[in-house]
Amino acid sequence: MAFPTKSTYVIIGAGIHGLSTAYHLALELKARRKGSGKDIIVLDKSGISAGATGIACGVIRNNYFQPAMRELMAHSVNVWESDREAYSYHPVGYMQISCESMHDDVRTIYEQQCAIGYRSSFVEGEKDCMKYMQGLFDDWQAQNITSVLHEKQGGYANNTTSMYGLAGKAENEGVRIMTGVQVTGLVQDNQGTIKSVETNKGSIACDYVVIGAGPWVTHFWEMLDLPKFISIKNPADGSMKTDIPMWVYWCLQEGTLGIDPDIQKTNDGKMPPVIHVDSDAPLFSDEDGSLITDEMWGIYYKPDTHFGGIQGGAAPYKVEKNADEVAVDPYGTESPEFIVGPEFAHMWVSALAHCQKRFSGTLAKFRREPSGGIGAFTPDSFPVFDVFRQNCYVIADSNHGYKMLGVGKLVAEEICGDQSSLLEPFRFSRYKEGKLHPVSNSPFPWS
């Protein structure tokens, strides 16, 4: 088949955002009688789900302190629920289990979830929290827990399987997905409008471009001549902070405990919710009893047959060196290693044992495998969804990506002319205008 020289819409990236946008844009064009999926091409330098999406943990939650994130995630959960089979979606729920320093934040999350009709329950007080958790897991033993937010919606999806399901839905609408095609440039006219996408296979003239490239977004940011450093307005006093790096890189620490996933079933034999714990209790080694940390720590975990065990992670760490090399190729051989080391394994498995006795003595079962990866974070660690150069929509998810299946639907609607109130809080202009998202007490940069 000949390489195409023109397409109305060119979407860069065959991960969660590129494929979701392509599929929903095809539906929008057909419904509005403005075209069809045949007007859309998706390009990826490797393959479907070959980047960050393919090693995502797959957790789908609405546990956000920020109202705008919470409303956007409620929308995305609805999209996940619309086709559970195709999306390989497991609606087991999600639990935020927290210490006292996060109590008020989590209560606020619960109250606002209730306000938008998102189904959840909230337990307060150390004694009642212990009773509630032992009602699910008879070996629960985590200390210093004073609040439990149990989201009855959400859960997780099998990352690669769900993306092939999404790709199939897009192709059924006529979308063409082209793998092994690397974008090398974006040609602009005198007004700055993108006129064509240059690739290693040839040039594609186009009317509209969507960039959904995950951590490679920084590469395209540079192609669009967008700033590497920005100014941010302090909403409290109106002062401006200048020369703030637009992109910060974090290494996401995740791994798998290679034991039977069924070991984590609840007392009544059901598959459990995804568990997330933020604790200020001293964490001791499950191996030798030594102190690992007396500072606040956080982990998450779930049984997952896709990973073949108990999969999860802990708070990420900043990549402090070789940032320019990371920007070019987040998973390249010159980038910081994204396979976690023994320190993470020791901490994570010890934290599992701190929470549930069944995990004690399992450190030897830890497996190092591609999971997590490098994330490109914005200055405030929240996404940017906006149009640049008149006809180029940039989806910069700031590593909130996989759970946000619904973003592609909203982007498709915006491309067709309908402005989204859910995406409005994530415009690039918020930095200059000081319209920033509130910050929680979580040890995770994306909560």
Q: Model confidence over 236-251: pLDDT tens digits? A: 899 999 999 999 988 7
The answer to whether 163 and 22 are in contact (CB under 8 A) is no
pLDDT for res 440: 75
Q: What percent of the chain has pLDDT over 90?
A: 79
* Number of domains the chain contains: 1
The mean pLDDT value for 317-331 works out to 60
> Quick one: angle between helices 16-32 and 159-172, nearest 10?
30
Q: Which residue has the higher pLDDT, 318 or 187?
A: 187
Q: Regarding beta strands 392-396 and 6-12, do their DSSP bridges make them parallel or antiparallel, or are they unpaired? A: unpaired
The full DSSP string for 90-155 is E---EEEEE-GGGHHHHHHHHHHHHHTT--EEEEESHHHHHHHHHHH-TTB---S--EEEEESS-E
Task: Answer whether 410's CB lies under 8 Å from 21's CB.
Answer: no
The enclosing H or E element of 81 equals helix 67-81
Report if residue 19 sits inside a domain: yes
Residue 314, pLDDT above cutoff 50: yes
Q: Are 401 and 53 in contact (CB under 8 A)?
A: yes
End-to-end CA distance of the chain: 46
H/E element holding 25?
helix 16-32
Measuring CA to CA, how many Å separate 116 from each of 119, 214, 310, 422, 438?
9, 29, 32, 13, 18
Would the pLDDT of 171 be above 50? yes
Identify whether 114 is part of a domain: no
pLDDT at 320: 66
Distance of CA 353 to the CA centre of its chain: 26
203 has which bridge partners?
A: 198
205-247 pLDDT, tens digit each: 999 999 999 989 999 999 999 999 999 999 889 999 999 999 9
For residue 416, is it within any domain? yes
- The pLDDT of residue 278 is 95
Write out the DSSP string of 196-258. Answer: EEEETTEEEEEEEEEE--GGGHHHHHHHTT--SEEEEE-TTT--EEEEEES-EEEEEEEEEE-
What is the domain range of residue 228?
A: 1-58+158-239+382-447
Q: Is residue 135 in a domain? A: no
pLDDT at 323 over 80: no
Q: What is the mean pLDDT of the chain?
A: 91
pLDDT of res. 336:
37
**40 has a pLDDT exceeding 90:** yes
Helix (H, G, I), strand (E, B) or coil at 296: coil
pLDDT bracket for residue 65 (50, 70, 90): confident
Average pLDDT over every residue of 115-144 = 97
How far apart are alpha carbons 309 and 298 in whole angstroms?
Answer: 20
Q: Is the pLDDT of residue 338 over 60?
A: no
Q: Assign 426 a pLDDT band (cuts: 50, 70, 90).
A: very high
> For the whole model, what pTM was predicted?
0.93
Residue 322 clears pLDDT 90, i.e. is over it: no
Cα separations (Å) of 97 from 148, 215, 305?
Answer: 5, 29, 24
Q: Can you give the pLDDT at residue 392?
A: 98
Residue 308 vs residue 9, higher pLDDT: 9
The CATH code of the domain that includes 14 is 3.50.50.60
- In this structure, the chain runs to a length of 447
Task: Determine, yes or no, domain membership for 195.
Answer: yes
Per-residue model confidence (pLDDT) at position 328: 54
Return all residues near 266 (Cβ < 8 A) that are at least 6 apart: 136, 137, 272
Q: Is 166 in contact with 26 (CB distance < 8 Å)?
A: no
In the predicted model, what is the mean pLDDT of residues 17-39?
Answer: 98
Chain centroid to CA 255: 16
More confident residue, 413 or 343: 413
What mean pLDDT do residues 305-315 have? Answer: 87
Least confident of 8-22, 161-175, 331-345, 378-392: 331-345
pLDDT score, position 325 = 56
**Is it the case that residue 446 has pLDDT exceeding 80?**
no
Residue 83 falls inside a structural domain: no
Residue 142 is assigned to a structural domain of this protein: no
Q: What is the pLDDT of residue 375?
A: 83
Is pLDDT at 405 greater than 70 in this prediction? Answer: yes
Q: Is residue 415 part of a domain?
A: yes
| pLDDT over threshold 70, residue 142 | yes
Question: Which one is predicted more confidently, 350 or 306?
Answer: 350
Positive or negative: CA dihedral 60, 372, 289, 291: negative
Count, in order, helices (H) and strands (E) of the chain. 10, 24
